[in-house]
Chain A
Amino acid sequence: MSICKKTIMETSELLRTKKIGAVELTKEYLKNIRKNADINAYVTVCENEAVNAAESAQKLLDSEDEVSPLCGIPMGIKDNICTKDIRTTCASKMLENFTPSYSATIYNKLQRSGAVLLGKLNMDEFAMGSSTEYTIFGSVHNPWNGEYVAGGSSGGSASAVAANLAAFALGSDTGGSIRQPASFCGVVGLKPTYGLVSRFGLIAFASSLDQIGPISKDITDCALIMNAIAGHDPKDSTSVKGHASDYLEDLDGKVDQLRIGLPMEFFDSALDGDVGAVIRNALKSLESRGATLSECSLPSIKNAVPAYYLISSSEASSNLARYDGIRFGYRNENAKNIADLYRLSRKEGFGSEVKRRILLGTYALSSGYQDELYKKALKVRSIISQEFNSAFEKYDVIAAPTCPTTAFKLGEKLNDPLKMYLNDIYTVAVNLAGLPAISVPCGKGKNGLPVGIQLIGKPFSEKLLLNVGKRIEKEIGRLEIEQKEGL
């Protein structure tokens, strides 16, 4: 079996027992990335930096008795997370030549653990999209079937992990951007509670919703990455103190006595029958291990998509005002005055979807519409949050499909923005309420494409979610792609 197919845990054991060297391992991954260039997962591959980092990791492995399980492990990072001296583009012409002078806190943390950065991963421009087709670097292809999308916006991250082009990856999730591509690519994706993982160095899209999280091959790896990245950061004023814990501890998959709520709004007519059957099968396996399943209702979920797009676009219109063409980012060099410099640089630097969202957000915040659109959306957010709170009085976990369908075909929704937005119907409410949620692979549809089940918990219940995910993984097993010839 190719070394790149192994989990972090398995690989770490091989590194510690000297069955493989860190440099050799990194080179194997780099080889795999080159062989699978057609997936288009990476926008920047840092070959030299990766080999240097692997050499340093090997020194640590050779000299220290206690090293992090991430020491020497090759990873990929979504290209909206700042990496000092390594180009960080947000897959936008606006930032095509931007090289940050500082690193995101989580990248610093992972570097200190000895993890090796292979490169930066493709995404929808500024994380706005659900298919990783809105990118200046070309669409990402689903590793299970190249004619289909990998999901988005962290499509590069999910496809890289699924195709063994990184042992794990980091993504960001504003309305489903970790969970949906994880579901489409058959890997584990966790959106942590808002504030649990530092956002310092994450290029802002919608600040009250954005959250960084791991994408991994299995649940244990996900817990292990959380151990490295969770925790308070003085550089992020929205990061919270005292909630990080040891996510590997007691990860035994016990679910007896667990009360699981199944919101009927997530099992509605939008849900593809085939996907529904796979989800129900996973739920049955939890029931057979002692969990109780009960139908419940979150009636305001139907308003989540419009509320989400109004709030996130409003925040984006404000956050993206910083791109003025002057201190960093794309600049139109022919502008004769300052107003034209702004207007032309932003016209040429942003892609069409980003411009649509800035316009939508500007509209929702403009005089005359703010009360009836933006404020109304904030009220819906409040109601959705209350409905989740009430549900968590009765249930420990809420389970639902991550997406209404399996991956859709490349190009299918590209020219219909509203259709693309509706794909996020099951994921956006979690961000509005700031809750943790994980997508766990639980089978394949008749078309051979992966299906993910979404587990939603109370704030800071990541340990419980990982544990339920562990049970599903034990019952159903990991979904693995057949490797290409010669690997």
Chain B
Amino acid sequence: MAADIKTIKKIADLAAIFIEENELEAYAAQLDTIINYMEELKNLDIGDTKPMEHILQMNNVFREDKVTGQNMRNELIKNANIAKDGYFKVPAVVDLL
């Protein structure tokens, strides 16, 4: 089985998504079917082929370092659910011992 409950728990943790215990089995079953299908690719003998990450021959694209929009704090913070005094508010980041 490519994706069992233990694997789903691990990748959900990596992806920072909480999954309820009673949903784990359904996710495992669906992802197992999907991954088994994807694994067809494992059997292809294409070792020497160069992987293609992107279709364009990408180079760094530079522009002048010029400020175009400024003092947008109030406008940007409007989309935050919890803000205080012009700051984004978050729960404690460092755990107290």
Contact = CB atoms under 8 A, between A and B. Distances in A.
A154 B50 CA distance: 33
Interface residues of A, number: 67
Contacts of B61: 237
Interface stretch (A139-147, A303-311, A446-454): A303-311
Interface in A46-103: 97-99, 101-102
Interface stretch (A1-9, A213-221, A381-389, A406-414): A381-389
A99 B79 contact: yes
A327 interface: yes
B90 interface: yes
A290 interface: no
B80 A328 contact: yes
Residue among B18, B31, B58 with the highest chain A CB neighbour number at 10 A: B18
A376 B39 CA distance: 10
Contacts of B11: 359, 362-363, 366
A382 B50 contact: yes
B79 to A, nearest CB: 4
Contact of A373 (B38, B80, B92): B38
A335 interface: yes
A337 B92 contact: yes
Nearest to A379: B49
A375 B16 CA distance: 23
Contact of A433 (B7, B34, B55): B55
A333 B91 CA distance: 10
A270 B16 CA distance: 38
Contact of B34 (A340, A380, A418): A418
B46 A194 contact: no
Contact of B91 (A329, A336, A421): A336
A375 to B, nearest CB: 5
Given A208-B55, A238-B58, A331-B81, A310 B38 contact: yes
Nearest to B79: A328
Contact of A363 (B7, B17, B55, B90): B7
Contacts of A340: 18, 91
Given A355-B17, A378-B53, A98 B41 contact: no
Contact of A360 (B19, B35, B69, B93): B35
Interface residues of B, number: 52
Nearest to B8: A359
Select the residue from B19, B37, B79, B80 with max chain A CB neighbours within 10 A. Answer: B79
Contact of B41 (A240, A359, A380, A433): A380
B69 to A, nearest CB: 8
Interface stretch (A245-253, A343-351, A467-475): A343-351
A477 interface: no
Interface of A is mostly: helix
Contacts of B63: 234
Interface in B11-54: 11-12, 14-19, 27, 30-31, 33-35, 37-42, 44, 46, 49-54
A199 B91 CA distance: 34
Contacts of A339: 16
Contacts of B75: 101
Nearest to A317: B15
A97 B81 CA distance: 9
A347 B17 contact: yes
Given A234-B63, A356-B31, A379-B46, A418 B81 contact: no
Given A194-B55, A327-B79, A343-B17, A101 B72 contact: yes
Contacts of A293: none
B55 to A, nearest CB: 3
Contacts of B53: 208, 378
Contacts of B44: 303, 376, 379-380
A347 B19 contact: yes
Interface string A168-188: 000000000000000000000
Nearest to A101: B75
B80 A378 contact: no
Contact of B56 (A338, A363, A434): A434
A309 B18 contact: no
Contact of A417 (B7, B18, B34): B34
A426 to B, nearest CB: 17
Contacts of A342: 16
Interface of A: 97-99, 101-102, 194-195, 208, 234, 237-238, 240, 303, 306-307, 309-310, 317, 321, 324-331, 333, 335-344, 346-347, 350, 355-356, 358-360, 362-364, 366, 372-373, 375-383, 385, 417-418, 421, 433-434
9 contacts: A306-B37, A327-B79, A338-B92, A341-B90, A360-B31, A363-B35, A380-B41, A382-B51, A418-B37
Given A99-B79, A350-B17, A375-B51, 10 more contacts: A101-B79, A208-B55, A238-B56, A326-B80, A330-B81, A331-B81, A359-B27, A378-B53, A383-B46, A418-B33
